[in-house]
Amino acid sequence: GRASPPLAALSQVLRLERSRRTAIVFPLQKLERYLAPGTDTARFRLFQPGLTALQRAEALFRSDRGHPIDYVSSAVRMDHAPPPALPEVCFIGRSNVGKSSLIRALFSLAPEVEIRVSKTPGHTKKMNFFKVGKYFTLVDMPGYGYRAPQDFVEMVEAYLQERHNLKRTFLLVDGVVGLQKTDHIAVEMLEEFGIPYVMVLTKIDRTSRGLLLKKVLEIQEFVKENTQGCFPQLFLVSSVEFSGVHLLRCFVAHVTGNLPNVEAR
Ligand code: GDP
């Protein structure tokens, strides 16, 4: 197994000084301070769990003998998908957006979980199912790109339309470059199917605070003007620095019904 990286656990984050701690746990709120006075900040703090909720969510992502976290199976077709027995979330995004890095970060407290990556060109792209104890499943959808083959589009579409236990789709967007043409195609598909989703901005350690804030405001505006099904709060993450990962674990636990007392206001 791998060793957990630093800051993978909340207990490590809590040892940091206050400002650094906020930046790691609530990266969006950290940015909020740099807004012009009078800016409406409602969209910066819709989901704002307390420490207890963050800790309870973390416990779900920490495996032990009574709580196994396992890779279950891969599927290329819906009839190969495991039975829809548990609440489910799925992660989609362009190839190279940082999806496998993020899933690895989410599962870093379960080092035995193997995140399979099939990146070799021509290699069959599959949906990978992970089971988190008896609580929920997480699906790593194949990365899409400008050369996404038709069978891949059909697989993703079939999954999104047919999977009745799907509670939320996490659409990963590169935080450095923002929404690209293929991301807009994904948004249109999610909007057309009318399924709830949330945007996650990746690799936020790679950009400056100013440029990141500009991207956040741009994408917030896009979400407000053009979407129905997208959660208005963006989630910002860095899989390298671990920022936003604890909050994302908490949101996954919340949308799968595993944190009954946390409100997403
Ligand atoms: P995927 O194709 O979406 O699974 O993308 P990967 O997780 O393989 O990431 C693509 C590239 O971006 C790799 O070189 C990663 O090391 C890098 N990367 C992923 N996440 C981050 C991040 O949070 N910060 C930085 N700086 N690099 C990242």
Q: Is the residue at 5 inside a domain? A: no
Expressed in angstroms, the distance from the first to the final Cα of the chain is 38
What confidence tier does 124 reach under pLDDT thresholds 50, 70, 90? low
The Cα-based distances of 175 to 91, 133, 144, 150 in angstroms read 16, 31, 17, 27
Contacts of 253 by beta carbon, 8 Å cutoff, 6+ apart: 53, 56, 57, 60, 135, 136, 259, 262
Find where tokens 């909050």 sit: 247
What is the model's pLDDT at position 4?
67
Q: Is the residue at 28 inside a domain? A: yes
Q: Is the residue at 263 inside a domain? A: no
- Averaged pLDDT for residues 128-147: 91
CATH code, domain carrying 65: 3.40.50.300
Q: In angstroms, what is the span from residue 179 Cα to ligand 1's centroid?
A: 16
Q: Cα torsion for 112, 118, 124, 130, to the nearest 10°?
A: 30
Q: Give the mutation target among 94, 101, 245 for probing the ligand 1 site: most ligand atoms within 8 A of CB.
A: 101
Q: Is the residue at 262 inside a domain? A: no
- Averaged pLDDT for residues 189-207: 97
Q: Is the residue at 4 inside a domain? A: no
What is the model's pLDDT at position 1?
47
> How many structural domains comprise the chain?
1
Q: In angstroms, what is the span from residue 164 Cα to ligand 1's centroid?
A: 30
- Ligand 1: does its nearest atom lie under 6 Å from the Cβ of 238? yes
What the block records as the tokens of 171 is: 């659409």
Q: In angstroms, what is the span from residue 13 Cα to ligand 1's centroid?
A: 22
- In angstroms, the CA 160 to CA 173 distance is 18
Q: Is the residue at 265 inside a domain? A: no
Q: Is the residue at 1 inside a domain? A: no
What is the model's pLDDT at position 118?
57
Q: Is the residue at 125 inside a domain? A: yes
Residue 127 belongs to domain spanning = 10-255
